[in-house]
Every structure is written in structure tokens, then in C-alpha cells.
Amino acid sequence: MTSLIGKLGFVHRELWRRDWLYRVSLLAGPAPIVGIIIAGTVWWVSSSLPASRVAPTLPPWATQISKPEIWGTGNQPQAVAPAHPLPAVGTDGMFVGATQGWQAVINAVHIDPLLEIKIEPTPLTGFTVEGPGIDMDRVLAMRPAEPMYVAKGLAYLAIRTAGVHAFSLRLERPAGRAADCVAGLGFAGRKIYSEVSPNLVNDVSRTFDPAHFDLQPGLYRIEWIFGCWHDRVEVGPGQMKLLIQHPDEQSLQPARADEIIRPLHPKP
């Protein structure tokens, strides 16, 4: 119910900003009731249709064929083969030819009143990120020209132990002004989910349903998207983290730094 109210509030704000006739109707009498009913009906119909697909733009070293399938988030493990074998380990204990962290890009995004998102394919800028996730302050510091944008993290996940692993995202927003946030996770060329959470405010923490995979040792492509905005302008604070449950663990934990890697010298 809270999600429904939040989305109707988002629709109302967009109609108020875009449509002068809607603003006049809101002050004129019973017309706004009809408008709210119509907007709610449009949202309900659109939410029953297939979800929009967010296809992250991969750097050259991670280029792959886009697949329309979506991974399930049930308890049944899904078998996946690695994209590459594990690299050799050097004398420093690190993978040869690789370093820790994400390759990140920022792309302009357009979001309509029904929370359908469209990410522009051309990156505005690029940078690297260490650790399991990204903070909105880091994204805002890049200062791209567009008012609304998302960050996308791209990397290989180094799986060292065979067995069932679970992946999820945790979205956190400490106290601050209300914001709409999008968080998405992709693994091995397919989307796990991409969801918009509207009107988040005051110490919100959300952990998405995990997806379970039966994996063998090797490298697996993994990517996320993240962004928060208010009145169509990007805002903070906020944080998004990749969570992993390894075969020998009982709960989801933030991904370890040494299992998120990217090539030292990406191919041109």
C-alpha cells in the first residue's frame, strides 16, 4: 500500500509540473478526483505489463551479447558457467593482469510519470570504485552535464569455491529530503532486477530478494545501476551495496574487495 501511495504521489508531482490543465483542474473542484482515478488506472495497467529492461552499456573488455531472460529470485539455485577461468595469482597474492574494484560510468536517464526508465547508451564520464558498492556523494562529485543520471558499475566476480551463492542489493538512505531511487543488478548477461523506489525519506534501508546460483570457480560478469533524484535533479545522500552469501555462510554479507576485479589494461 505504501508503494502504491508513493507511486501515485510521483504521478501527481509529474502531472503538476508538466500539465497546466491539471493544475487548473486541481483548484477547480471535483475534476482532480477524476484525474487521480485516471492516473491510478493508467499506473495499474502499466504495472501489469512486462517490466522495462535496463541494458547496461559494457566497456570493451566486458562486451557480450544482450539476453532478454531475467534470473529468478526464488530459492532454487540456477546453474551458470563462468565467462573466464580464474587468472593466475602473482607473488603479491593478486590476480595477474587485474586489480580490485569496479569500472563505473555515468549515463543520462529519462524517467516518465509511470516510472519507466530509459538510460542513454553513451556514457557521460567514467571512473573507478572500490568496495562492494557506491555512495551517492561519489556519483554527485562527477558533476555530469545532465540533471538526471545513473551510475553503472561493471566488473568480474571472482568465484573461488564451487557451490550455491546468493546475490542481492541493499539500498540505504539516511535521514534527508525525499527522493526517488533506482537500483538494479545484472549477473552473467541477464538482469536480476531493476526497480524504482519512490519517495524514500528518513533512514530507509531495503534489501532486495536474493537470487541463488550454483557456480564453479571462475570469473563472472556482474553489474549494477544506482541513482537518486528529487524534482528531476540528482540528490544524495544514499548508498547501494552488493551483498553475497557464500556456500559456507548463513546470511548475506557485503561483497569482499578481493572478489570484485577489473582488468588493469582494458582492450580499446
Confidence tier at 42 by pLDDT (50, 70, 90):
very low
Q: For residues 139-162, give the mean pLDDT.
A: 91
CA distance linking residue 150 with residue 28, whole number of Å: 38
Mean pLDDT, the chain, whole residue set = 78
| Residue 25 burial (C-beta neighbours within 10 Å; 0-12, 13-18, 19+) | middle
Residue type at 81?
A: A
pLDDT mean over 151-171: 95
The model's pLDDT over 64-123, given as tens digits with 9 standing for 90+, comes to 434 457 888 888 899 999 999 998 988 888 888 899 999 999 999 887 767 677 888 889
Q: Which residues pair with 207 in a beta bridge?
A: 170
pLDDT band at 38 (very low <50, low <70, confident <90, very high): low
Contact 236, 227 (CB under 8 A): no
Q: Residue 124: pLDDT above 80?
A: yes
Return the pLDDT at 22. Answer: 55
Q: Choose the weakest-confidence range: 11-25, 37-51, 97-111, 213-227.
A: 37-51
| Structure confidence at residue 56 as a pLDDT band (50, 70, 90) | very low
pTM of the model: 0.71
Considering the chain, tell me which residue range(s) the CATH 2.60.120 domain(s) occupy: 60-263
pLDDT at 265: 63
- The CATH number that domain 60-263 falls under is 2.60.120
